[in-house]
A = this chain, B = another copy of it.
Amino acid sequence: MDEVKILIVDDEKDILEFVGYNLENEGYIVKKASNGHQAIELNHSFKPDIIILDVMMPDLDGIETCYQIKQEISTNNPKIIFLTARSEDYSEISGLEAGADDYITKPVRPRVLLSRIKAILRRGAQNEENKPKVSYGEFTIDWDKYIVIKNSEARTLPRKEMELFGLLFSSPGKVFDRETIMKRVWGSEVVVGDRTIDVHIRKLREKFGENYFETVKGVGYKFVSPDNV
């Protein structure tokens, strides 16, 4: 991983500038968001490796934002560093639960921040050896190579198809309702028409066969492996 992308989220412009400047100086690719919604949005499009997230923000606070981001199925699995003022009354409990990977208290000291970032990247590098490759029935999904293998025949899927497949595949047999699919694949911010999910299911069926993606009318869809039940 040579190009490390970092997203900074804070409602105070000064901090965005200050932290952004320091990180860019170190050669990271930086984008900034000034609220939670923007952050979720940018997590999609920018796909940062690390998100530095202010806890205390109006409207959608850091904890909430973190939750939502962690929910989503996506290729980037961003690490999240919380930024909290020592005086704030957000307890660490909620932060850890929300899936924070580290904490930093304001005021931000560049040296500290950089060392935390490096620590996280180091940790990440180690994990990367655990290729997230999961098999079930005749299928294998390999997020690393971004392919789905069916009976030793590999194919690359477009992002949304991959994510939709990934979600359903993550719990074979379990029905995911449309709302959940929407939230986890498209994100809670995005609003798209109701036929969109169907169309993507169609594409998956075209590629893998009609029998793997079962419709449960009025509820949602599930992945099943006929030979494997």
User: Which residues of A are interface residues toward B (Cβ below 8 A)?
Assistant: 56, 58-59, 61, 63-64, 67, 86, 89-94, 97-98, 102-105, 109, 111-112, 115-116, 118-119, 122-123, 144-146, 154, 156, 158-159, 173-175, 214, 216-219, 222, 229
Contact = CB atoms under 8 A, between A and B. Distances in A.
A116 B145 contact: no
Contacts of A102: 91, 93-94
23 contacts: A56-B112, A59-B111, A61-B115, A63-B119, A64-B118, A64-B119, A89-B104, A90-B112, A91-B92, A91-B102, A91-B104, A93-B102, A93-B103, A94-B102, A98-B119, A144-B174, A145-B173, A145-B222, A146-B216, A146-B219, A146-B222, A159-B218, A159-B219
Chain A binding site: helix, strand, loop or mixed by DSSP?
Answer: mixed
Copies in the complex: 2
Contacts of A158: 217-218
